[in-house]
Amino acid sequence: MFDDIGNKIMNLTKIVCTILIVLNCIAGLVGFIGCLISGSVGAAFICLLGGVIGCLFAWISGFLMYGLGQLIDDTHAIRMRDVMYGSTNRDDHVSITPAGGNSAAAKTPPQAAASGRRPQQTAEAGQKIQQAILPVVQKQSREEIYSSCHEPGKSITFGSYPQNTTDKDPVEWLVLDYDAASKRTLLISRYALDCKPYNGSAESVTWETSAVRKWLNTAFLNEVFNADEQREILSANVNNGQDQGFTEYDTSGGNDTEDKVFLLSYAEIMKYFGNSKNCMCVPTPHAIGHGAYVSSENMLNGKAACWWWLRSPGSSAASASIVGSNGKCYSRVATYNSFTVRPAFWLELPDN
């Protein structure tokens, strides 16, 4: 309810101010015409003056309230920047809390996306990249892949993408679900593979219209998977209904979509991961090099965890749900460009 309160005050102020100005104009004109009809010219001009004063008062009040909202929004952005660089120990507000988990509260990186710029890479960022070097997994044969796809919790390699360096390495995927009836298995990347904003502009957005969906199903799909691999990835009907988001949010998830690659929803991480510790994720050095924020307070297997996007909407039309570095879920403005992406897809399995 109180997430992104500064922006909500500004939006509400514009609506209320417009309504008050219209009502004062109508009241002043009605009084003016009524008094003229009754022959009271003096009273007519008093009614007209009252309408003008009412409009002016509504405009000034709206100006002050909008300024308050802007001040709250700017203060929040400054506090988030302080959190990023360690000048405060105040924890960020948790909007959604999956069951379980005692990890330290996740701290939010600054809203660098507001200016369309990524955080400047420093020596500290280079150190983080070195600390995040991941073991290189070997490419598996089709037989090895198919034999592991029936067991949730197993991992396979499929496709390739830059991870430790600019060279491509086999991508490791976790098996989340196996559907024996349709001979398909649901996979999600073990690591956060890249750093992208959910959307490029601060406007109303759904999964259907998001920039990250377009990227996943065009540039990412073509870079990671060859033609044969793409034929094995199913075009899935992706449910974006109200039941897929956090129950306390009224924000619409938009239309259902058909995608080869997608992000998990809030309902799906609750189904497949269950608690906050299981939701924690480590980014690749490639993702860190592209601006991914990591938290040294939340470690997973000795490596700093990151924030990663879900496809579900956030608390407002311009936000999306996200998993924090502590594994808990939050709502964040869709233009944040220091959060990461964990792609998911359904892989078609052979009959035998």
Across 181-199, average pLDDT: 96
pLDDT for position 64: 87
Tokens of 11: 């939006």
Q: What average pLDDT does the segment 120-136 reach?
A: 62
260-278 as b/e: b if 16+ CB within 10 A = bbbbbbbbbbbebbebbbe
Grouping H, G, I as helix, E, B as strand and the rest as coil, residue 219 is helix
- By the 8 A CB rule, do 11 and 68 touch? no
Rounded to the nearest integer, the mean pLDDT of the chain is 82
Do the beta carbons of residue 310 and residue 323 sit within 8 Å? yes
* Number of other residues whose CB lies within 10 A of the CB of residue 126: 13
Out of 26-40, 79-93, 106-120, 295-309, the most confident range is 295-309
SS3 of residue 81 by DSSP: helix
According to DSSP, the residues that pair with 170 across neighbouring strands are 160
160 - beta bridge partners? 170
Closest CA to 253 of 203, 313, 209, 202: 313
- pLDDT of 58: 85
Which is higher by pLDDT, 304 or 352?
304
Over 70: is that where the pLDDT of 259 sits? yes
* 170 vs 104, more confident: 170
**pLDDT for the residue 44:** 79
SS3 content of the chain, % helix, strand, coil (to 5): 40, 20, 40
Judge whether residue 319 has pLDDT over 80. yes
- Name the least confident of 7-11, 77-81, 82-86, 296-300: 82-86
Q: Is 189 exposed, middle or buried (0-12, 13-18, 19+ CB in 10 A)?
A: buried
For residue 203, give the DSSP letter.
Answer: S
**pLDDT of residue 127 exceeding 90:** no
**Residues 99-126: tens digit of each pLDDT:** 333 344 555 554 443 333 444 444 455 5
What share of the chain has pLDDT > 70, as a percent? 80
- pLDDT band for position 96 (50/70/90)? very low
Whether the model pTM is above 0.85: no
3-state secondary structure 264-326: CCHHHHHHHCCCHHHHCCCECHHHHHCCCCEEEEEEECCEEEECEEEEEECCCCCEEEEECCC
Picking from 345, 340, 272, 313, the residue whose alpha carbon sits closest to that of residue 3 is 313
- Residue 75, pLDDT above cutoff 90: no
Q: What average pLDDT score do residues 67-92 get? A: 48
According to the model, what pLDDT value does residue 112 have? 40
Higher-pLDDT residue of 29, 222? 222
70 compared with 197, residue with greater pLDDT: 197
What is the model's pLDDT at position 114?
38
The pLDDT confidence band at residue 85, using thresholds 50, 70 and 90, is very low
With CA atoms as reference, report the closest residue to 36 among 24, 23, 25, 47: 47
- Residue 92's CB is within 10 A of a number of other CB atoms, namely 17
